[in-house]
Amino acid sequence: MDRVALRGLKARGHHGVFPREREEGQTFIVDLVLGLDTRPAAATDDLARTVHYGVVAEEVVEVVTGEPVDLIETLAERIAQRCLKHEGVQEVEVVVHKPDAPITVPFDDVTITITRSRA
């Protein structure tokens, strides 16, 4: 399976369990790796035979800026399911970064990584 990766998609969302997170929001960063067969697109040089990653990026931002959820696990699942709606995408790895998580000790990042497939 071939891979198309999008890294560092940024959007402001209001996800989290604390009232401050819901009210003020924060930046979330999403990395995606889409698994698909790119041979048909390469053979024909036809965008319609692969995944349009610009559209995928816009949809991911819609999910992040959309309806708030408590957990980044839920956010990652919603993103994965949206990606799998694209014809040809057989598998997706989603990493959601929450660099401004409400943690009381110094840290660089909090992430969740999930892999989902059509099977």
Which residues are known catalytic residues?
98
Instruction: Output DSSP code: residue 17.
Output: S
- Buried/exposed 3-18: b ≥16 CB within 10 Å, e otherwise: ebebeebebebbbbee
| Residue whose entry in the numeric block shows the structure tokens 């990652």 | 76
Quick one: 19 exposed, middle or buried, by C-beta within 10 A (0-12, 13-18, 19+)?
A: exposed
